[in-house]
């Protein structure tokens, strides 16, 4: 997949077949659109093009909103789009000025003049442009005079999947990672850099890697303990993850820390990816360290069974 951070160097393609949107999560509903996009491109000997936006439009239009959280970082989204066969990815910088662009001007100046779109596919009820006034009907009305055709994924097909990024976020905020996986079509992931923690786990016989995510908008699932796979330097391990405030120690600070099984290496400063498999239990306060350690052994045993 070729990636373009600017349309200034976008190549002239014989037959660009395009879709656009934020595609946060690249979930099963999105995958229907991507599948249709790829089929259309192959049918006309064209090339699939996806335009997405960064930062997320909501973060620019509503900068004071503190509750904006994303299912995928830009890097994660890029990896997923490549996996689903997109040939050209345009990452359009979303600024306040860009958000004010009239939808007609966006179609003419960006999609037609700069990309040279010949065919488009959009999801049901897709909206774009300033105040989201652009629609499938607008695209249909402009398409003949601007030399492209447009197709909409029918409402019935979208409803059959019944997927939305909002539903996925809700599931993750509630710790229902299995439900999120069924909507995403893959297990939720979280990547971060290993940083120095308070080393409480090491003192208890369960050393942990504390993760710090570089993307402040990346969604961290509900506090609790999870069975996870852990990717370190392209190698997969099993582990148990704790998200929370260490209530037994009245710590207060929220942390993301994983005990990696059968692993004994210094990985401070390295990037680690967590693959969420199952929710085990809530973040609990125990009556002392001994009770906590006993529960940690049970968590490990349960994780090994699930993984």
155, 175: one domain: no
Q: How confident is the model at residue 88 (pLDDT cuts 50, 70, 90)?
A: very high
Task: Please say whether the beta carbons of 165 and 71 come within 8 A.
Answer: yes
| CA atoms of 301 and 307, how far apart (whole Å) | 10
Q: Which of 161, 178, 199 is the last residue of a domain?
A: 161
17, 155: one domain: yes
Task: Please give the pLDDT value at position 164.
Answer: 80
Domain containing 48: what range?
Answer: 2-161
Structural tokens at position 282 = 């809530």
| CA atoms of 171 and 180, how far apart (whole Å) | 6
Classify residue 186 by its DSSP letter: S
Bridge partners of residue 272, in order along the sequence: 192, 232
**Count of domains in the chain?**
2
Q: Which pTM does this prediction carry? A: 0.89
153, 184: one domain: no
- Looking at every residue in the chain, the average pLDDT score rounds to 89
> Which tens digits make up the pLDDT trace of 235-249?
999 999 999 987 777
3 state DSSP class of 224: strand
Angle of the 165-173 helix axis to the 177-184 helix axis, nearest 10: 160
104, 39: one domain: yes
Here the CATH number for the domain that contains residue 90 is 3.40.50.620
207, 123: one domain: no
Between residues 126 and 145, the one the model is more confident about: 145
């Amino acid at each position: 997949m070729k990636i373009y951070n600017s349309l200034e160097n976008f190549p002239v393609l014989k037959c660009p077949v395009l879709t656009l949107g934020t595609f946060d999560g690249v979930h099963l509903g999105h995958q229907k659109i991507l599948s249709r996009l790829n089929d259309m491109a192959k049918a006309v000997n064209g090339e699939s093009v996806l335009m997405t936006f960064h930062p997320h439009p909501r973060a620019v239009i509503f900068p004071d909103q503190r509750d904006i959280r994303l299912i995928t970082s830009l890097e994660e989204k890029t990896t997923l789009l490549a996996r689903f066969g997109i040939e050209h990815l345009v990452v359009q910088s979303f600024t306040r000025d860009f958000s004010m662009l009239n939808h007609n001007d966006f179609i003419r100046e960006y999609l037609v003049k700069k990309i040279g779109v010949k065919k488009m596919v959009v999801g049901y009820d897709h909206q774009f442009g300033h105040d989201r006034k652009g629609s499938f009907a607008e695209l249909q009305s402009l398409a003949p005079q601007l030399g492209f055709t447009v197709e909409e994924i029918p409402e019935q097909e979208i409803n059959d999947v019944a997927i939305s990024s909002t539903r996925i976020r809700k599931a993750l905020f509630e710790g229902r990672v299995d439900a999120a996986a069924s909507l995403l079509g893959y297990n939720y992931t979280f990547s971060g850099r290993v940083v120095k923690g308070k080393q409480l786990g090491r003192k208890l016989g369960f050393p942990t890697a504390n993760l710090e995510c570089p993307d402040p908008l990346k969604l961290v699932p509900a506090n609790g303990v999870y069975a996870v796979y852990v990717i370190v330097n392209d190698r997969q391990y099993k582990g148990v993850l704790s998200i929370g405030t260490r209530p037994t120690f009245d710590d207060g600070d929220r942390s993301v820390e994983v005990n990696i099984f059968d692993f004994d290496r210094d990985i401070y400063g390295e990037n680690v990816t967590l693959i969420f498999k199952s929710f085990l239990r809530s973040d609990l306060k125990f009556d002392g360290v001994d009770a906590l350690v006993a529960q940690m052994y049970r968590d490990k045993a349960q994780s090994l069974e699930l993984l």
